[in-house]
Amino acid sequence: MWSQLAVSLQNGNTYLILILILGFLGTTIIFERFINLQFRYYVDFGKFLNNLRRSVQAEDLDRAVSICKNASNTSLPAIGLKALEAAERDPTTVRGTIEEETIDFLPKLETRIGILPALSTLILLIGVLGTIDGLWNAFDSIEILDTSEKQARLANGIAESLNPTTMGLLISMIFLTGHQILKGMAIKLTERLHYGVSVIMNLLVPNEVPTYVAAAPIEAPVAMAPQQPDDSAADLDEPEAEPEEEDDSFDDASVEDIKDEEEII
């Protein structure tokens, strides 16, 4: 297989040359991303945050600034440096500064990593296209040959046409593996960065304690019950009615009159 690939490259196979150019581009991206993620953006987060916490709690901002500058000029130390400078100018702007720097830096962790899967797919498709083209030429060239030469030419043509697909598969596997490794490194750095930003914000952002003013309680209006006349009071004010005495004289006079009328008749 390797000898066939070398022979095809010496013969100037266009598809293999194109695959190698894209492979060189992808390999450059893999090494560049690996160096940045492993050496440039990565710091000892635990040690850095402990030193920064001690300096801030001791109110030694100059030493904290020096720690950030000595650690790195990017990643979490750069965010911490911007936050310290904002704390010296105006403590109320620290939160906004941290958020702006974090949002600006996070996309840098995954820059160009997403190109690798697309590049891998493109290389594989170019290899398949090169195989189809090689098979086409192999079958087309045997029409003018004698029978004794057809089998040898066809076998060589098929073997040579498989070289672009072989090269495309190899490079695609390398790119996909590199993509997974770089993706994992970027995710790990993102998690550590979020933790570090939370620590810096807790150290530098002033505590915002809301003040509440107790409002005077509002008394609900009491519904006035309708006054009912007090019978007992009325009874006290009005004198009790005395029982009427029977008029005995009226009864006697009426009886006498009746007797007198009977005598007249």
If one compares 92 and 257, the residue with the highest pLDDT of the two is 92
CA-to-CA distance for 4 and 157, rounded, in angstroms? 11
pTM of the model: 0.70
Task: Determine the pLDDT at residue 249.
Answer: 47
Residue 251 has pLDDT above 70, yes or no: no
Residue 133 has pLDDT above 50, yes or no: yes
* Residue 62 maps to a domain: yes
* Residue 214 maps to a domain: no
Task: Determine the pLDDT at residue 146.
Answer: 62
Cβ–Cβ < 8 Å for 5, 155: no
Task: Determine the pLDDT at residue 10.
Answer: 66
Kindly report which listed range (47-61, 188-202, 237-251) carries the lowest average pLDDT score.
237-251
If one compares 227 and 200, the residue with the highest pLDDT of the two is 200
Mean pLDDT for 163-171 is 89
* Residue 59 maps to a domain: yes
Residue 31 has pLDDT above 90, yes or no: yes
Mean pLDDT for 149-168 is 78
Please state the domain count of the chain: 1
Number of alpha helices (DSSP H) and beta strands (DSSP E) in the chain = 11, 0
* Residue 146 maps to a domain: no
Residue 241 has pLDDT above 80, yes or no: no
Task: Determine the pLDDT at residue 134.
Answer: 82
Cβ burial, residue 77 (10 Å; 0-12/13-18/19+): buried
If one compares 136 and 6, the residue with the highest pLDDT of the two is 136
Residue 151 has pLDDT above 80, yes or no: no
* Residue 56 maps to a domain: yes
CA-to-CA distance for 204 and 206, rounded, in angstroms? 6
Local confidence band at 158 (pLDDT 50, 70, 90 cut-offs): confident
DSSP at 207: P
* Residue 262 maps to a domain: no
Domain span at 45: 14-125+167-204
The three-state secondary structure class of 36 is: helix
Residue 81 has pLDDT above 50, yes or no: yes
Residue 222 identity? V
Kindly report which listed range (10-19, 32-41, 66-75, 238-247) carries the lowest average pLDDT score.
238-247
211-217, long-range: CB < 8 A, 24+ apart? none
Local confidence band at 212 (pLDDT 50, 70, 90 cut-offs): very low
Average pLDDT of every residue of the chain: 79
CA-to-CA distance for 142 and 211, rounded, in angstroms? 92
DSSP-derived secondary structure for 222-264? PPPPPPPP-HHHHHHHSPPPPPPPP-HHHHHHHHHHHHHHHHH
* Residue 67 maps to a domain: yes
CA-to-CA distance for 63 and 81, rounded, in angstroms? 11
Task: Determine the pLDDT at residue 189.
Answer: 94
Local confidence band at 200 (pLDDT 50, 70, 90 cut-offs): very high
* Residue 245 maps to a domain: no
